[in-house]
């Protein structure tokens, strides 16, 4: 029988401490407050928890009244992945737009202002930035969430983002280690595999993470991906070779030398849940070197927390998880929490705030390609046709995107509609375009696409539209991999609200100075 160095209460408290669960509602449920009193040290917030900045501030104050060192985490990348502005679209462009500008000072300023807004609401841990090198243009889950496809560019902007965010008093959690950019599978749905050799991983995937560690990132999030060059059997989140053997290993021995908190990606994601189950997966992750278990994007209830707590306790009692490893993980979580403050950490940053920095960055990120020298800005109402792919889970379907709302404000009488793959399958490409032309009438069409290179139905529909209406304006709000097309082609490098606004300004011919900043 295993002899415990700690009593059962301490073991249970440590097991609760390493969990980072979510919950439903815009105020903390009683079970969350009760578990905070019993040892829970972190919570994760999602769009469902946020209505207004004032409400979010009240929620974090409620949590902090129960435990003043609680880590309040959020998935706020800016750009396409926003929780603060989930219902309106983000005031900040995402990583690809910042990488397209390639001004680290701008990236630092954007991250600082984003961090300031989080800190004012009482959030002190951000699951960002994405340090993934988007080397696979067909990647279904990273794409515009990456700073780009060149490791050096991604590295310098990852470091700048971390420095800006943490200067506002919010801890950065750099993700998705060891790098999710060369995948063709979304780990929300299945287990991706990267077959690159160790030399390639070192030169490509790991370069931004080394820069993140050097920049002082407080946390790193693991990826649910299989990299046989590191571990032929276990995905990185569950792999001692990836977490303890590479991320923790001293630099002198070939590792990254990271000594901060390691957080898992969501354990209910199918890459882990289908093969291991969340209980076994969580035990394996802590044993491999993770310190905090992220869960709650989908399973956001007390029963999940109790199941994971009990699984960890049982694993220690049965000798499948070293008690010292669990205690070490819990200590790292508490140490980060004790160093994170409430909103007052942002006071210095508030004096330096640049509230218009997001829109300014979005404008600088535009890449405008006219078909000739004859483009004339639209002076009357237009018809916006948004070719809409299925959103990946990280982005979500509830966040609006496009240029329709802004063009409707600038050019009253503008109409808009969305067209998806189902429309193309049901009507056929010819029927879809006929329907579009009938609805548009004599208004100029603005076609909005998102990663057109990844969606054959979208590319076919766009080609047919441009054949029928060559004066069509095309706005690409994803990765601009396909050649520019249309009378005017605008690549925004992301679908944040400010990206749509910046594109609309160009379409109507308004200068950047014609509107006040956000």
In three-state secondary structure terms, 73 is: strand
Phi, psi (5° rounding) for residue 73? -105, 155
**Cis amide leading into 164 (omega within 30):** no
192 within 8 A of 225, measured Cβ to Cβ: yes
In three-state secondary structure terms, 311 is: helix
In three-state secondary structure terms, 80 is: coil
Active-site annotation holds for 157: no
Active-site pick, 265, 291, 345, 451: 265
Q: Where are the alpha helices (DSSP H) in 289-417?
A: 302-317, 323-338, 347-351, 357-365, 404-410
DSSP string across 452-500? GGG-HHHHHHHHHHHHH-TT-EEEE-S---SPP-SSEEEE-SS--HHHH
Active-site annotation holds for 188: yes
Opening angle at CA 166, ends 163 and 23, nearest 5: 135
Nearest to 456 by CA among 421, 485, 494: 421
147 within 8 A of 153, measured Cβ to Cβ: yes
Residue 392 to residue 414: CA distance in whole angstroms: 28
Burial 97-123 (b: 16+ CB within 10 A, else e): bbbbbbbbebbbbbbbbbbbbbbbbbb
Distances (CA, A) of 122 to 314, 345, 350: 34, 10, 14
Q: Where are the alpha helices (DSSP H) in 265-301?
A: 270-276, 278-288
Active-site pick, 188, 224, 455, 493: 188
In three-state secondary structure terms, 76 is: coil
Residue 154 to residue 158: CA distance in whole angstroms: 6
Run of H or E residues at 37: helix 30-38
Residue 98 to residue 95: CA distance in whole angstroms: 5
- Active-site positions read 188, 265
């Amino acid at each position: 029988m295993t002899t415990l160095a700690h009593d059962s209460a301490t073991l249970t408290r440590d097991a609760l401490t390493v969990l980072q669960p979510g919950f439903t509602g815009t105020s903390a449920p009683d079970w969350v407050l009760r578990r905070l009193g019993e040892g829970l040290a972190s919570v994760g917030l999602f769009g469902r928890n946020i209505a207004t900045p004032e409400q979010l501030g009240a929620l974090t104050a409620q949590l902090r009244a129960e435990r003043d060192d609680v880590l309040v985490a959020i998935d706020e990348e800016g750009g396409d992945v926003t929780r603060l502005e989930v219902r309106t679209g983000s005031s900040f462009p995402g990583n690809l737009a910042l990488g397209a500008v390639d001004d680290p000072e701008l990236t630092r300023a954007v991250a600082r202002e984003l961090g300031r807004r989080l800190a004012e609401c009482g959030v002190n841990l951000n699951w960002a930035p994405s340090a993934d090198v988007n080397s696979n243009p067909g990647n279904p889950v990273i794409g515009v969430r990456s700073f780009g496809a060149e490791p050096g560019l991604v590295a310098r902007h990852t470091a700048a983002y971390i420095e800006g965010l943490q200067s506002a008093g919010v801890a950065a959690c750099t993700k998705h280690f060891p790098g999710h950019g060369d995948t063709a599978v979304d780990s929300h749905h299945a287990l991706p595999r990267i077959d690159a050799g160790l030399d390639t991983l070192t030169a490509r995937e790991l370069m931004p993470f080394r820069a993140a560690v050097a920049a002082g990132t407080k946390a790193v999030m693991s990826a649910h991906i299989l990299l046989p060059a590191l571990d032929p059997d276990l995905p990185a989140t569950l792999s001692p070779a990836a977490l303890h053997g590479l991320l923790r290993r001293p630099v002198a021995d070939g590792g990254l030398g990271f000594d901060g908190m390691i957080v898992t990606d969501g354990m209910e994601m199918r890459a882990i849940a289908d093969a291991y189950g969340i209980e076994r997966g969580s035990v394996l992750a802590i044993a491999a070197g993770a310190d905090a278990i992220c869960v709650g994007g989908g399973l956001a209830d007390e029963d999940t927390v109790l199941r994971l707590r009990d699984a960890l306790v049982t694993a220690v009692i049965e000798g499948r998880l070293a008690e010292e490893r669990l205690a070490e993980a819990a200590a790292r979580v508490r140490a980060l929490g004790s160093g994170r403050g409430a909103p007052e950490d942002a006071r210095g940053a508030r004096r330096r705030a640049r509230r218009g920095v997001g829109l300014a960055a979005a404008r600088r990120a535009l890449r405008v390609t006219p078909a000739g020298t004859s483009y004339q800005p639209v002076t009357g109402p237009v018809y916006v046709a948004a070719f809409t792919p299925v959103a990946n889970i990280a982005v979500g379907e509830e966040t609006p995107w496009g240029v329709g709302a802004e063009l409707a404000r600038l050019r009253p009488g503008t109409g808009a509609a969305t067209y998806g793959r189902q429309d193309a399958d049901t009507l056929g490409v010819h029927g879809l375009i006929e329907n579009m032309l009938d609805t548009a009438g004599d208004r100029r069409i603005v076609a909005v696409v998102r990663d057109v290179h990844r969606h054959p139905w979208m590319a076919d529909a766009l080609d047919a539209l441009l054949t029928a209406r060559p004066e069509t304006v095309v706005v690409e709000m994803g990765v601009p991999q396909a050649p520019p097309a249309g009378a005017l082609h605008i690549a925004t490098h992301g679908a944040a609200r400010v990206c749509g606004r910046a594109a609309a300004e160009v379409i109507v011919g308004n200068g950047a100075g014609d509107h006040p900043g956000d």
